[in-house]
Structure 1
């Protein structure tokens, strides 16, 4: 069994989370500059067996695509060209940033630490991945 890697795609930064090899636990992996995302993914899959990419799908409350989706579509096209062997699954990512922020509060992080947007992105990716695992 390979790992599942989740991506919380952002204009500047992208949060990444990954499962263990048994696909039981979702853990934050990193936050990378979106410009370096494809090369990061290529490097990662050279070292680890990844069988699926789970990518957040931003939606509005009325279930239509949010404006962020227009940034994700070109990335998805590039990803399928650059890494065609790994399938992609989309997961609704509504409220993940708010949930990530609340998780930081609940875990006792100080205000200064909660302002770390990279950490919010990584936690959001973990929430997206955990949501996917629950739905399986």
Structure 2
């Protein structure tokens, strides 16, 4: 697999973004987009994918504890569907379970102060989602 991959962590208030390097081995946080409306958000993410020369887009999908599709996962599916209307790039759903907790742990391990740690974790969570995807695809 080669080419940059954009990961999207869709949330209620913010959308976290991460991008891989050109070899699709390393994920890096890219930033956060404030949620407005599904179609507008999809258009913004498609534009960011184009600006970053992404070859593929991964959308984080939170499955429930039994691995089933719940309300949050359905929202991610609808966002992925909207995104497909704004780009010709492949759009793939990827299990994001535990990414926010992993982002919180990573911030704590990096020595980020409790006050700063309470800020948004969305782009770091997107990077964790992307790194799990990249690791799985390279195995």
TM-score > 0.5 by shorter chain = yes
TM-score by length of 1: 0.89
Mind listing any 5+ residue stretches in structure 2 that lack a counterpart?
A: none
Shift of 1:11: 1.6
Mind listing any 5+ residue stretches in structure 1 that lack a counterpart?
A: none
The aligned residue for residue 78 of structure 1 is 82
> Which residue, 56, 63, 83 being the options, matches 2:60?
56
The aligned residue for residue 13 of structure 2 is 12
CA contact (8 A) 2:25 2:135 kept: no
Structure 2 residue matching 1:21: 3-state secondary structure: coil
> Which residue, 106, 111, 114 being the options, matches 1:111?
114
CA contact (8 A) 1:11 1:71 kept: no
CA contact (8 A) 2:63 2:97 kept: yes
Segments of 4+ moved more than 6 angstroms: none
Task: Determine the C-alpha separation between the residues in 2 that align with 1:86 and 1:108.
Answer: 37
Q: What does 1:87-98 align with in structure 2 at a 5 Å threshold?
A: 87-98=90-101
Task: Determine the C-alpha separation between the residues in 2 that align with 1:47 and 1:112.
Answer: 33
Shift of 1:2: 2.5
TM-score by length of 2: 0.88
Shift of 1:100: 0.4
Report the RMSD for the aligned CA atoms in angstroms: 1.5
**Higher mean Cα deviation, 44-53 or 101-110?**
44-53
1:1-33 CA distances to partner (integer Å, 9 max, x unpaired)? 421000011121010000111212100000111
